[in-house]
Structure 1
Amino acid sequence: MSLSNVSVFLLSLLFLTACDFVQDAIQRTLNEHPDIIAKVLNDHPEILEKQMAQIRETESKSDALESEKKLEEQAAQEEMETTKQRSEKKNPLISADRVVFGDRNSKIEIVIYSDFQCPYCARGYKTIKELQKKYGRDLHVVFKHFPIRGHKYAQISALYFEAIAASDSKLAEEFHDMVFENQSELVKRGEDFLTEVTRKIGANVGAVKKMVKSEKGIGQIMNDESEARSFGIRGTPGFVINGHVLLGALPIEEFEALIHKN
């Protein structure tokens, strides 16, 4: 066997064996004859390349695992913080000029963070209607906005609602109901449908369209969305029922459990 082949054999054993005794013996031989290493690496650069590739692969896997671990820890921390946010009793801001469906002094308060184009919000709308029917004057509803970016007509619908609400709260409630009850028309026809609804409820279309372009409505929507996020609400629909957060279009029993919660 040539010196080169012997050297390759020795280096291979050094890299691959798990036996400390064999490794020590080989290491002593290489220490005594360092020229062996130089010759082997010169004649067989693929050995070093292979080992470096393995080292890089190991480091890459280690970095990936470390990164994944950090992401998992971050996600867990964020979930804990969000859960804590939701568990604490909330106090949504309800200004004197905010539209309220029902008697604002009634003992049951439901604040909704919703999106006119969201199908789950339409389902939540039906649940709220059932609750209004059941609890009557003991319940009031505050409709706030959380338009999802992927919903093309969500924000413009919210702007129409606020424009109508600025002059007539009853008409705003009629608009709200009609849009949710005909949500498929909103998706198909967009602002043309909103204009038609505005006309049908008897609101001044010209005045509403002018108001839609003002900054007041945009500011209101942004404030609503910011408040929702501060409560741990990340999607729609979200509800605050007598200060308690509820997420999603859940069964009516879930709403009633919070209504009766102290």
Structure 2
Amino acid sequence: MSSTPTPLGIDIGGSGIKGAPVDLDKGAFAADRVRIETPGSSTPKAVAKVVKEIFGEFEHMCGDAPVGVTVPAVVTHGIVRSAANIDKGWVGTDAAALLSDAIGREVVVLNDADAAGIGELRFGAAKDAEGTVIVATLGTGIGSAVIVNGILVPNTELGHLEIDGHDAEKRASSAAREAEDLSWEKWAKRLQRYFSHVEDLFWPDLFVVGGGVSKKADKYLPLLKLRTPIIPAKLRNDAGIIGAASQAWAVKQGKASR
């Protein structure tokens, strides 16, 4: 087995649960990702069963490395405090303990956008960036990770800012663009309103835009007129898995808290 640590990252989403071991020297998958459909009833017990199945696919590669798991929710000290696109039964669940019991391995649980932010900070578009960096993931909703001088401020939930009487992600997410069949130009106007508001609140030094739609960044980012530089994510949809695995390893090494 290679001496390079290959902790496993698992990303729990509303439609799919994805996982892969991560080479922390390269900041890249060490094997092809495995994806399993999220159970229709995405209860903690049902999802834990899928997490165990994915872990079983890669256990032989991971040595004694911990597992990092993301959920689309606020997470404090391993406990899920909200539920977006997963069963409401997650609220109040000690997900770290539940999943650790399921796979017999230490598990670090964190918000999915926070994990993506960590991935971009350590291996992607935000690497070596100074000051305040905001990573925004545009997908079913809008996730956010706020990083100040290399330190994550967890669970910021900036997609739920109320702007012009609307929950921001209901109008400016990638899902909203698809549902309303908006042109890139019309969607960019909504993004302009959103990012302008966020930069007036935080005065960041850099925006990084992630999510699947980041691969088409040339269609909309050039249309935005902001004070703040705004660039596409480098790791795209891999960022959450990579960031979760990286954070789990950092916790094991005593370089990060849960």
Shorter-chain TM-score bucket reads under 0.3
Question: How does the TM-score come out when normalised to structure 1?
Answer: 0.26
Structure with higher Rg: it is 1
- Whichever structure has more strand as a proportion of its residues is 2
